[in-house]
Amino acid sequence: MPTPTPPPIAPAPGWLVPRRTLARPVSWAGVGLFDPATSSVEASPVTEPTGIVFELRPPAGPSPVTFALSLDHALGGSRHTVVGVAGVAGASVATVEHLLSALWGMGVTDAHLRVAGPEVPALDGSALPFARAIGSAGLRPLGERPAAVVREPIHISVGPARITAEPLPPGSPPALGLRYQLEYDAPAAGLPPPIGPLHAGFSIDWAAPDGAAYAEAIAPARTFATAAEAQALRAAGQFAHLSPSDVLVLGPAGPLAGALRMADEPARHKLLDMIGDLALLGRPLVGLVSSHRGGHALNRALAAEIHRRGW
């Protein structure tokens, strides 16, 4: 875990990056990855610079619960990320990372998200349906805002998993560079690991985000599980509402059903998740982030440490 550092300091001046919102509303509906209930999300443009705002309607509540996306509203999650208002029944929504990833990857910094249901729809397990709809809607400018800028190296590790953040080299554009190394241990001596090792990388230039590149390189990468993980999850009563085509299940020889969309699809999905989890900062991040075996918890820990340092 990170070495203790002094209390937060006032944010230092840094890059101003363009804000963008949707040009028109878009919506999605479907069952969740973990919850079989049907949910819907409508993403709408905003006229004022609000950041990403969630509007949730608790099933038993008389009125919606509204909050701006920030680490204050991150409620954890092991295999996904949950946001909401702690202590308010029904005021949370799960598996937000794919939608948040698509918003950042397509260049959206400000939007109003109305969610009806407990979980963002899983759709095909990737961010592609979100990215396509956002791309069709188009974007419009909404002024500028300061980015969160990595100013010195951060290293966080838990067991063999680790994540680091480093400043960009001098003269670099205001961008978020991402690298991921996927590696699994062999289940037993003499047996191959269930996946990998695989490497993938991507970059978001906040001055001129390339939504088409995100939609081609990152958004299509689907949620995945090893055969052993999938068996354990089903034994625990999860994913029972999903068919083999809804979740990419991988063995040493590849997918148990269907085919990979890209040779390094699992590593690219980890980048997809990383983008969505880092969006919890509530503003664009400038720096280079690298992860080895990391997941949602480490992504959120890095975001929290960057926020705590006042960058």
Q: Residue 8: inside a domain, yes or no?
A: no
Mean pLDDT of the chain: 92
For residues 214 and 105, the answer to whether their CB atoms sit within 8 Å is yes
Give the number of domains in the chain.
Answer: 1
Written as six digits, the tokens of 47 are 């006229």
Q: How confident is the model at residue 290 (pLDDT cuts 50, 70, 90)?
A: very high
Identify the band that residue 60 occupies on the pLDDT scale cut at 50, 70 and 90. Answer: low
In a domain, 6, yes or no: no
Degrees, nearest 5: CA angle 81-83-87: 125
Q: What is the pLDDT of residues 221-276, one digit of tens each?
A: 999 998 888 888 888 877 778 876 778 998 878 898 889 999 999 999 999 999 99
Q: What is the pLDDT of residue 174?
A: 96
Give me the pLDDT at residue 14, please.
65
Q: Which domain holds residue 69?
A: 16-308
For this structure, is 98 an active site residue?
A: no
For the domain that residue 253 is a member of, what is the CATH number? 3.30.230.20
Q: What is the Cα–Cα distance from 145 to 122, expressed in whole angstroms?
A: 31
Lowest mean pLDDT among 53-62, 86-95, 129-138, 144-153: 53-62
Give a yes or no: residue 208 inside a domain. Answer: yes
Site of tokens 């407990």? 118
In a domain, 285, yes or no: yes
In tens, the pLDDT along 85-96 reads 998 888 999 999
Q: Residue 148: inside a domain, yes or no?
A: yes
Q: Is residue 9 part of a domain?
A: no
CA dist., res. 97 & res. 33, Å (int): 12
Assigned domain for 7 exists: no
Position 48 pLDDT exceeds 50:
yes
Position with higher pLDDT, 59 vs 269: 269
How confident is the model over 184-197, as pLDDT tens digits? 987 766 677 888 79
Q: Which two tokens stand for residue 75?
A: 């409620």
pTM for this entry:
0.92
Classify residue 4: in a domain, yes or no: no
Please tell me the least confidently modeled range out of 69-73, 123-127, 168-172, 189-193. Answer: 189-193
The widest CA-to-CA distance across the chain, in whole angstroms, is 60
Position 74 pLDDT exceeds 50? yes
Least trusted range by pLDDT, from 20-29, 135-144, 195-204: 195-204
